[in-house]
Structure 1
C-alpha cells in the first residue's frame, strides 16, 4: 500500500481529516480534493487525499480563501510532479553514464546552446564583464 492507494471511505477520511463528510463532498465539487470513485460511484480517499484535506483545514484556519487554497494545492502538485520528473531524469542519466562510460557529455553554454564536451572536462565559463551606460 502506498500513499496514492484509494482505500478510505468518506466516513473514515472525514474522521482522519477531522472534517464533516459534507465538507469533503463540497471540496470534491469544487475540485480541491477529488477522490477516486468505485464502480458503484462511492468516493475512496487515499492517504495523500487525507493529507491534502488536513492542509486545506490548516490553510482555511489561517484565513486563506478556498480559491487561494485551490491555487496553492495546484502549485504544490505541480512542484511535486516536476521533482518526480527530475528524479527520473537523474536516474536515467546515472544509468546512461554507468552503461556507457567514455561516451559524449553535453552541457548548456552561456547562451543556452548545447555544447559537446569530452568526458572528464568542464564547460568553459564566460567571465567577461559588460558595462552599460544608459543614454539620456
Structure 2
C-alpha cells in the first residue's frame, strides 16, 4: 500500500459502493442530499477518495442509528463547526 493523501480521488462509484458495502444508488442519494461530494472527471464521472469512503461509512452508521438524512446533514455541519472552533483554539 502506498502512502498517499486520503483526499486523492481514485475510485469509481461501483468500486466505492463495494468498499462501503452499499448500493451505488445510496451513494447517489447521499450526494443528492449534500452529505458527500465526490470529485468529478472532466467528463463528469464521479471519483471517490479514501476520505469519501470514510464519510460514506459514517453517514451509513448514523442512518443505521435511526437518524434521517436531514439530521445527518446537520450532525455533519455541527461536527465541522466544532472541528474549526477547536482548530482556532489550538492554533
TM-score bracket relative to the smaller structure:
0.7 to 0.9
> What corresponds to 1:60 in structure 2?
63
Q: Which runs of 4+ in 1 moved over 6 A?
A: none
Which secondary structure state, in structure 1, belongs to the residue aligned with residue 7 of structure 2?
coil
> What corresponds to 1:34 in structure 2?
37
> What corresponds to 1:43 in structure 2?
46
Residue 81 of structure 1, CA deviation: 3.7
- Structure 2 unaligned blocks of 5 or more: none
Output the TM-score relative to the length of structure 1: 0.59
- Structure 1 unaligned blocks of 5 or more: 90-136
Residue 76 of structure 1, CA deviation: 1.8
Q: How many residues align?
A: 88
Distance 2:48 2:89 in 1: 27
Compare CA radii of gyration and give the structure with the larger one: 1
- How has the CA–CA distance of structure 1 residues 54 and 74 changed in structure 2, closer, same or farther, with 3 Å as cutoff? same
Q: Which has the higher strand share?
A: 1
Which structure has more RCO (C-alpha within 8 Å, separation ≥ 6)?
2
Residue 63 of structure 1, CA deviation: 0.5
Residue 86 of structure 1, CA deviation: 5.1
Q: Which has the higher helix share?
A: 2
Output the TM-score relative to the length of structure 2: 0.85
